[in-house]
Structure 1
Amino acid sequence: MADKTGNTFDFKLLRRIMQYANVYKKTFYAVLIAAILLSFFATARPVILNFIIGDYIPNNNIEKFINYSSMMFLVLCLEVCFQFVFIFFANWLGQSIIRDIRIKLFHKMMHFKMQYFDNNAVGKLVTNSVSDIEKIAEIFSQGFFMIVGDVLKMLVVIIAMLFFDFKLSLYVFIVLPFILIATRLFQRAMKGAFKEVRKQVSALNTFVQERLSGMNIVQLFAREQAEYHKFKKINHLHKKAWIKTVWYNSIFFPIIELASSITVAIVLWNAGADAAYNYDTKYLGVIAMFIQMTQMLFRPLRQLADKFNTLQMGMVAANRVFEVLDTESKIIDEGTYVSEDIKGVIEFKNVRFSYIEGEEVLKGISFAVKPGETVAIVGATGAGKSTIINLLSRFYEIDSGEITLDGKNIKHYQLSNLRDKIAVVLQDVFLFAESIYNNITLNDDTIPLSTVKEGAKAIGVDAFIEELPEGYYYNVKERGTTLSSGQRQLLAFLRAYVSNPDILILDEATASIDSHSEQLIQKATAELTKGRTSIVIAHRLATIKKADKIIVMDQGKIVEQGTHQELLNLQEGYYKNLYEVQFAEA
């Protein structure tokens, strides 16, 4: 990768980016041809001007003056046309390529393991998906083709200079090596500066996104001033990184301007002396041509460094995007088994699992759930209750043991089929900034509004939805902030009901809600669990008394199993002690 090599420029990375242009070969070559022609048209202008000033104006050759003036006009028109082709299609190509990369990147992230998101900041991934991708587009619109065009223009100008006056060309070329050395040093310095810029942009994005998402916590604990000062520090580092790039630019560009002015002065001194000594007006045309060509040689060189900056920033951004694309953090989906009707027989056989290697969360647990049975899992925070759900849905891979569904290892199921048969209602309900209808169906066009309404009536949540200003088309805003926690929870139950799962999982779904919402949720729970295998993770033990079986966990192990009454009958039992504490508090 670009930032891991010691090279100023990583051609391997550029080749990888260019592979995405293979789909658009015609456009790519059209832009390249336009760049080549533009280099010839640009050089043709000072050459024509040379003949007009040197030959036709002093000799009063009106006919040739008009012909060459017309030729100059034609060249300018062609230059404008090909400039349009060059600019439009270079940008079109860049936008088409980043569209393809962005789709590929989003698809990749959609299939990452949950563990990847546990270890990577959301702000960083947003930077990768938005600003980094846009920088890649600039490789084509402002970087690669511009550099190719400028280099071709410089080569054609050098050839034209040598052809018309070898001696004057040498005077110009004397300064050229110093500019090339300065450009090389500038590029090297800018690469390191841009890497730092990208790092600080990512840090700033991550900080702002997290604080805006958790603004209620910031304000609740009166941390506004503390977070403000943290932001100032991060923002200062961001500014410092950009100032470094400005510093290099402020040194480099005046040097190029000075070198260009000195070269023009040398040309004027020598060519002017020859013209005065030989009394030859042809030298006037050569002087005018060389002044223009010197500018055409040095200006692209100056712009070349600027375009290289753009290219370099695009390369650094591409490197960051490819790091995500190259990340192998995907649940292996090699299962081919597809079941249309899952009975719901679940079995955990000596399952061990750790989020962090060497720190086991589940320590060889085994249990079975019969079809249509409601099993509750209870235990202290960190006992491993929610981990069981994550493993059943294959969000994480187990370290050892086996999990089976209807007697078949869940790894043998097609992943989409497995997850399609399981509905999970979490305590922390996530809603998108869309209508209630879209949040329930998750934009599944196969689920009509009538089905959603029938589901709402069945579980008793239709009344509160219809009371909202636009009913089922009411926009709940980001994360459902316009609704109460109880209302969000009810929508999560409706989402699960409409999906018609074979297996239902409720993870602390009745925690932190008011008594009215709890009554509605209890009704929804009864309707949802009817006739289907259900796993209920509960903190409040009063809500699981009717469960067919209760599994009690402690520190990653199953310590007790049985019905509510059976567990209460155990002397000095873990569940009995837990229940008595809650009952006393109540």
Structure 2
Amino acid sequence: MSTPEHTPRRALPEASTSSADIKDSPGTTLPEPAEGMNADQAAAAAVDAQTAPARPKHGGRAQGPMGMSMGGEKPVNFGVSLRRLLGHLRPERPLIGGVILMAAVGVGANVVGPKILGKATDVIFTGAIGQMLGQQFPAGTPTSVVVERMRAGGGGQFADMVEKMGAVPGVGIDYDRLGHWLLLALALFAGSSLLGFAQGWLLNGVVQRSIYRMRQEVSSKLDRLPLSYFDKQPRGELLSRVTNDIDNVSQTLQQTLSQLLNALLTLVGVLAMMFWVSWQLALVTLLIIPVSGVLAGIIGKRSQKLFAQMWKSTGELNGHIEEAYSGHALVKTFGRQKEVEQVFAQHNDGLFRSAFGAQFISGIIMPVMFFVGNLNYVVIAVVGGLKVAHGSMQLGDVQAFIQYSRMFTQPVTQVASMSNLLQSGVASAERVFQVLDAPEQSPEATGSLPEPISGRVAFEDVRFRYLPERPLIDGLDLVAEPGQTVAIVGPTGAGKTTLVNLLMRFYELQGGRITLDGVDISSVPRRELRDRMGMVLQDTWLFGGTIRENIAYGRPGATEEEIIAAATAAYVDRFVHSLPDGYDTVIDEEGSNVSAGEKQLITIARAFLSDPSLLILDEATSSVDTRTEVLVQQAMAALRSDRTSFVIAHRLSTIRDADLILVMEHGAIVEQGTHHELLEAKGHYHDLYQAQFAAPLEDDAA
């Protein structure tokens, strides 16, 4: 029998099909469909939730598609979540070091480029001034003589500029020197581009491997979570965290890491070059940092909360869609489309408002940063022009500084504009971390079961409740002898399914113990325990695959002959040959291309193939027709032979031949005995039997 510990991810619903035990708990409600509900039950739960009186809330959990409130989320703790997210990159430290080195060299080459181009500009400008001076002074006149004569003539400001650049009358543009600087700039820019390409390639691998590990962690975590966690989580909300949120984290890391790294290195490099070129202008440029930081902080705080709400609303909308449309047939049957559409509109409107607000407010950062950057550009252009005119700077240096001012404001603007993406990604990461931090089921024990198992099951003073304030099972004692068929009957909410779920260790006891052949099942690893058990549920579950694969799921490695023998015993072989591809017929994930009864026969064949030591049947023939039920009951009798079996049944006609019948009410066994003994006692079982059979006969007679 497959178990949650070694079930493929798509088999997760099977681990949760036992959520019917909450249905059996008196006073306990499950507002949204549990993981294992079929489509009819999901829609029925939705309809019931709309028409039922006020019910107790389950610890802030989200509820069903008919309008109940959805649970709240904690606000994003940005700093802690960001550090934890970056911690997932730790295994990639060697490659990250290489990325940082390449980024530093590439940014360095890119930063030096404007200074080199400034040198080329100086060559051109000096040559142009030299040609102009050649019209006033003899060619080759020393620059010092030219400057002295200009000052004597009252042109002191122009003389300072000529002296600074060293222009010689009659000497034009030095094209060899100009080519040298241009080729050097080209080489620097080309090298920077190549390093950027290599950096992006490495960083892409770092991010994708980190996200791969995160997905593995989440998948592994889901297998370690108790069934109660899935009972309290809307399936659509959980799927949203596992898919949408992880994808958003991947996109955030992919788009922000490289840009943030380059932006920070560019800021450092550009700042150094600006102080080298002109420390006065560098100080002017630095004034934009506190202004930009204050503006970005004000805007970021407002958008951060909206991004957290946006992803919360996304999960709520996904949860509503999954719950409502998995039971769309019954929703239509009861004419509740309008209510479903209204709730969808509410969630959709909430997502629209939060997403619009988050994107709009965070989007303001970019134009604000551009405005501040343009003010800085104007100041530098004016001050730099004055310094060139007074001869305290060369034109090429001013040109380089203007480029540096642009390069300086660009990463500041870039970092500010990426804050929306970063906040969105961290909000998603925190939602994923909430799954990773969820309390796990108790650690696995190291004991073992004897070989072979005779099948003696004993419940000794067992106590269990789903909610601390609501008793369910208190002090229950029960012994099932080897080979016995124990039937469990009683009204809804009596605790029937809870009893077998405790035996399967889907839930842990809060008192007492359950033993199998004298061994406390809590001392045995869950996988070993569940490998000895076969379970057929009322809520059938089939995965997307062939009929052969679905049957073989009960025992991997089974031979073709064993699969066909199990199918024949469960009467699957009778209908499978009418299908287009026989045992190779592919069943979709919802099992919609086979009938409900055929699905149940396939799950029974799966149990036949697993050949368990203990057998648990939870209304296993509820979806088959009367004629097939007779045949299946005969097969079940053969399957139950020589093994202990627990049968949960509402139709008492199916358990007349049980060795022991337990009648449960409010979590307690109120009667036990054989069918005839309990009828003669004229107690609770007699009343149940009369309600099923006597009343219809009286109605027919009337």
Matches within 5 A, 1:458-477: 458-477=569-588
CA distance in structure 1 between the partners assigned to 2:520 and 2:318 by the alignment: 42
Task: Give yes or no for contact 1:549–1:562 (8 Å, CA) kept in 2.
Answer: yes
Task: Give yes or no for contact 1:461–1:520 (8 Å, CA) kept in 2.
Answer: no
Matches within 5 A, 1:330-349: 330-349=441-460
Residue 150 of structure 1 deviates from its aligned partner by: 0.4
Task: Give yes or no for contact 1:338–1:414 (8 Å, CA) kept in 2.
Answer: no
Task: Give yes or no for contact 1:334–1:411 (8 Å, CA) kept in 2.
Answer: yes
**Greater shift in the superposed pair: 63-72 or 332-341:** 332-341
Does 1:198 find its partner at 2:323? no
Other-structure match for 1:576: 686
Does 1:252 find its partner at 2:365? yes
Matches within 5 A, 1:30-429: 30-56=98-124, 58-59=126-127, 60-278=173-391, 283-429=394-540
The aligned amino acid for 1:534 is S
3-state secondary structure, aligned to 2:654? helix
Which of 57, 76, 93 is equivalent to 1:25? 93
Task: Give yes or no for contact 1:337–1:412 (8 Å, CA) kept in 2.
Answer: yes
Matches within 5 A, 1:483-494: 483-494=594-605
**Greater shift in the superposed pair: 440-449 or 318-327:** 440-449
Residue 14 of structure 1 deviates from its aligned partner by: 3.5
3-state secondary structure, aligned to 2:272? helix
Residue 83 of structure 1 deviates from its aligned partner by: 1.2
Residue 444 of structure 1 deviates from its aligned partner by: 6.0
Residue 22 of structure 1 deviates from its aligned partner by: 2.9
3-state secondary structure, aligned to 1:83? helix
The verdict on how the C-alpha distance between 1:427 and 1:4 changes in structure 2, with shifts beyond 3 A counting, is closer
**Greater shift in the superposed pair: 64-73 or 333-342:** 333-342
User: In angstroms, what is the RMSD of aligned CA positions?
Assistant: 2.1
Residue 530 of structure 1 deviates from its aligned partner by: 2.0
Task: Give yes or no for contact 1:94–1:140 (8 Å, CA) kept in 2.
Answer: yes
The aligned amino acid for 1:184 is G
Residue 139 of structure 1 deviates from its aligned partner by: 4.5
TM-score with structure 1 setting the length: 0.94
Aligned length: 579
Task: Give yes or no for contact 2:465–2:473 (8 Å, CA) kept in 1.
Answer: yes
After TM superposition, the runs of 4+ consecutive aligned structure 1 residues lying more than 6 A away are 3-7
Task: Give yes or no for contact 1:552–1:558 (8 Å, CA) kept in 2.
Answer: yes
3-state secondary structure, aligned to 2:661? strand
User: With CA pairs under 8 Å and 6+ residues apart, which has the higher RCO, 1 or 2?
Assistant: 2
String of CA shifts for 1:247-301, please: whole Å, max 9, x gaps.
32343222211122222122222222333454x9x73312321221111111111
Residue 516 of structure 1 deviates from its aligned partner by: 3.4
Residue 56 of structure 1 deviates from its aligned partner by: 4.7
TM-score with structure 2 setting the length: 0.79
Residue 336 of structure 1 deviates from its aligned partner by: 2.0
The verdict on how the C-alpha distance between 1:388 and 1:79 changes in structure 2, with shifts beyond 3 A counting, is same
- Greater gyration radius: 2
The verdict on how the C-alpha distance between 1:544 and 1:209 changes in structure 2, with shifts beyond 3 A counting, is same
Residue 160 of structure 1 deviates from its aligned partner by: 0.4
String of CA shifts for 1:45-87, please: whole Å, max 9, x gaps.
2111111112256431211222222112211221121111222
The aligned amino acid for 1:237 is G
Unaligned runs of 5+ in 2: 1-72, 128-172, 698-702
The verdict on how the C-alpha distance between 1:257 and 1:22 changes in structure 2, with shifts beyond 3 A counting, is closer
CA distance in structure 2 between the partners assigned to 1:18 and 1:276 by the alignment: 50
3-state secondary structure, aligned to 2:590? helix
Which of 84, 90, 97 is equivalent to 1:16? 84
3-state secondary structure, aligned to 2:394? helix
Which of 563, 577, 580 is equivalent to 1:452? 563
CA distance in structure 2 between the partners assigned to 1:535 and 1:250 by the alignment: 62
Unaligned runs of 5+ in 1: none
Other-structure match for 1:510: 621
String of CA shifts for 1:479-533, please: whole Å, max 9, x gaps.
2122111111101110111111000011111224322331342233122112211
